[in-house]
Amino acid sequence: MHQPYYKNLITGESVLPWVRLHGVKDYLDMVLILEKFPKMKLTFNVVPSLFEQIEDYNNTGLKDKYLQLSRKPAEQLTKTDKEFILQNFFSINKDKVIAFSPRYYQLYFKKQSGQEFNLADYLDLQVCFNLYWIDPSFRKNIPELKKVVDKERFFTEEDKQIVLSQQLEILKGIIPAYKLAQNNQQVEISVTPYYHPILPLLYDTNIAKKANKKTVLPKEGFNYPLDAKYQIDSAIEFYKQRFNNAPLGMWPSEEGVSEHILPYIIESGIKWIVTDEAILFKSLKLKKRDTKLLYQPHLLKRKEGQLNIVFRDRNLSDLISFVYHKMKEVDAVNNFMTHLENINKTFKGKDILVTIALDGENAWEFYRNDGHDFLELFYQRISQSDFVKTTTVSEYLKLNPAKSEIKRLSAGSWIYGQFGKWIGNCHKVKAWEWLAQARKAIGETKNPPDLAWKQMYILEGSDWFWWAGEDPDGSFDRLFRLHLTNFYQLIKQEPPAYLAKPLTP
């Protein structure tokens, strides 16, 4: 589960609301649903920079523009405020969410047809946007929210305050819920490097060529191995403070791995990592998919120590991420169970490990009822099955130590076993060049403040490069340039003139 770092370090405000909104829609219910299914064991992965921002909403009163304009009484909204609300408060799945609220749907069509909104419309839109981002299970089971849902329209300012205060209560419950589930041994919590960087590219952008020889590299390479080490070590320290123990597992950001980063992971005390099956077959120089090799853990023995590695079944993982939301829940679950039955028949009942690893948030907004109907039926069928058992990675490794060794791990990520999503096109290359210039500048600065280093590590996050050249509304481009501008201000240098113009035209 991951969101980029949206907080402006200088103003202390969050530029975009997605930590708060995904926080009330995805993170808490994903673990609470397991209370109904005690046989289910899952591994959840957390990104410290996401949890830090979740905490900030409660601990420091973190604000975002969407939240501030939601709190503002409708009668006090300016013309600019109203334009922003009309432009942004329909930012949720139209067919799976907006269409299920008659009033929200009515407001959507009113906006689409260019009709003028009155005061009641703006107030109802403020409420609907914040209400329907909240997970349906909370809207149903929290009495105060259920009353607002049942009201449907003609909301009051008091109704709006109830919705917004309940959002903060949900955010407050996220970390304790995961801690409790881990203490109860139903889940394992793994961790990602702190600000979600692509570790091999921090180590050296030239590694991208090892994954794909055709990759276009920046003129000025980025080559800061110790930054990769810091991102790993600071994540583990954050985890220890929240969960009172050290994590055993790590999900390298975007499952991006290479041989070069393994010493830092091993030295950190991490016992296992997860990546994509493409990396396994590239590492073993296999042209064909081999599930016998895929469905077992492997060992990386290096001079620094040893590390277990598991590889996800891409086909099964992608069915949940990208396919099943188009099907009826019962058909989707039947299809998945058939796949598991076929795997079991193929291996004639042998003990094998099938790893399903996927994004914990984005899939569900495409499912009906935010994925609850699918997940409940899925967990029920798995729990009742007599041939499959869920397990955490560490639990499995304790009983089934890895026997197969990988001598050299190929470089790559979950996307086609390479790094093309983060480096290669002219915009992504330019972003790396800008970052390299900034990193060089802080290295030449005498006693840079801690906040400047924090800003640098934020800038190393994967999302700025993911969206460079592919940013539909320019919001990530603006945020990357804002972070870079703030960085130069923090080291008391004039921001380069190029930061005033979009990276992606």
Per-residue pLDDT of the chain (505 residues; tens, 9 = 90+): 999 999 999 999 999 999 999 999 999 999 999 999 999 999 999 999 999 999 999 999 999 999 999 999 999 999 999 999 999 999 999 999 999 999 999 999 999 999 999 999 999 999 999 999 999 999 999 999 999 999 999 999 999 999 999 999 999 999 999 999 999 999 999 999 999 999 999 999 999 999 999 999 999 999 999 999 999 999 999 999 999 999 999 999 999 999 999 999 999 999 999 999 999 999 999 999 999 999 999 999 999 999 999 999 999 999 999 999 999 999 999 999 999 999 999 999 799 999 999 998 888 999 999 999 999 999 999 999 999 999 999 999 999 999 999 999 999 999 999 999 999 999 999 999 999 999 999 999 999 999 999 999 999 999 999 999 999 899 999 999 999 999 999 999 999 999 999 998 7
* Same structural domain, 367 and 290: yes
Most distant CA pair in the chain: distance in Å? 69
* Same structural domain, 291 and 415: yes
* Same structural domain, 25 and 154: yes
Burial class (CB in 10 A: 0-12, 13-18, 19+), 275: buried
Angle value at C-alpha 3, between 461 and 267, nearest 5 degrees: 50
Q: Which of 224, 332, 253 is nearest to 5 (CA)?
A: 253
Q: Tokens 């209370």 belong to which residue?
A: 35
* Same structural domain, 163 and 227: no
* Same structural domain, 413 and 474: no
Measured distance CA(346)–CA(245) in Å, rounded: 39
In a domain, 153, yes or no: yes
In a domain, 211, yes or no: no
* Same structural domain, 433 and 413: no
Measured distance CA(379)–CA(505) in Å, rounded: 46
In a domain, 49, yes or no: no
Domain boundary residue, one of 421, 444, 459 = 421
Measured distance CA(254)–CA(42) in Å, rounded: 19
* Same structural domain, 244 and 363: yes
Task: Please give the tally of structural domains in the chain.
Answer: 3
Sorted by sequence, the CB contacts under 8 Å of residue 139 that are 6+ apart come out as 131, 132, 145, 146, 149
pTM over 0.95: yes
* Same structural domain, 440 and 388: no
In a domain, 250, yes or no: yes
* Same structural domain, 234 and 310: yes
Question: Whole domain around residue 167: which residue ranges?
Answer: 18-33+61-172
Q: Three-class SS of residue 93?
A: coil
Q: Locate 257 and state its tokens.
A: 């791995």
In a domain, 446, yes or no: yes
Give the pairing of strands 305-312 and 404-405: unpaired
